[in-house]
Amino acid sequence: MARTLRFARPADAARIHQLIVDLATYEREADQVEVTPEVLAAQIAQTPPLFECVMCDVDGESVGFALFFHNYSTWTGKRGLWLEDLYVEPSRRGEGHGRALLAELARIAVERDCARMEWPVLDWNEPTIGFYRSLGTVPMDEWTRWRLTGDSLKALATEG
């Protein structure tokens, strides 16, 4: 098995899209995926890109990905690395690809002087929670993530 980690290119957009759909299906939200391969390709090609993505290739086939972007901590005065999605095909799990992707992101975060890496995890996803705990990560139980979308977002945007 020859594993390669590399940054995604616009030509990877269709495969990234498929992996996003697979992840959304696993998370029971396949109907929520609105992005298209064309949009992903255009966003990867932007300077600077809206996101970055590390692909995990095994014997020339992309079996997983880690899509991330930077945020900023006002408390540390440094960037952070926000992992939006990490996914490895179910048939390729247990081979170290998820750990390799996270290690690559940690390397990028350290190289870019990021204060931290953070990501969301569904409360019911026990296999993933166990995996993350095995790496020494800790949940931020005292924080609740809030979201404003759709009509509520538009309504607030038109106030005052």
What CATH number does the domain containing 118 carry?
3.40.630.30
Compute the distance between CA of residue 73 and CA of residue 95 in angstroms, rounded to an integer.
34
Strand runs labelled E in the chain: 3-7, 52-58, 61-73, 78-88, 117-118
Cα 85 to its chain centre, rounded Å, is 2
State how far the Cα of 57 lies from the Cα of 59, in Å rounded to an integer. Answer: 6
Following DSSP, what letter does each residue of 28-65 receive, concatenated?
T-GGG----HHHHHHHHHSSS-S-EEEEEEETTEEEEE
Q: Is 132 marked active-site?
A: yes
Segment (H or E) for 127: helix 126-134
What is the total count of domains within the chain?
1
Q: What is the pLDDT of residues 11-24, one digit of tens each?
A: 999 999 999 999 99
Confidence of residue 36 (pLDDT cuts 50, 70, 90): very high
* Structure tokens belonging to residue 144: 């609740």
State the catalytic residue, choosing from 26, 72, 87, 132.
Answer: 132
Our measurement of the distance from residue 159's CA atom to the centroid of its chain's CA atoms, rounded to an integer in Å, reads: 33
* Sequence letter at residue 46: Q
What is the C-alpha to C-alpha distance for residues 131 and 127, in angstroms, rounded to an integer?
6
Domain around 151: 3-157
pLDDT for 44 equals 96
pLDDT exceeds 80 at position 160:
no
Longest Cα pair distance anywhere in the chain, in angstroms? 59
First CA to last CA across the chain, in angstroms? 59
Q: pLDDT by residue (tens digit) across 77-132?
A: 999 999 999 999 999 999 999 999 999 999 999 999 999 999 988 888 888 888 88
The reported pLDDT for the residue numbered 99 is: 93
Give the mean pLDDT of the chain: 94
pTM over 0.75: yes
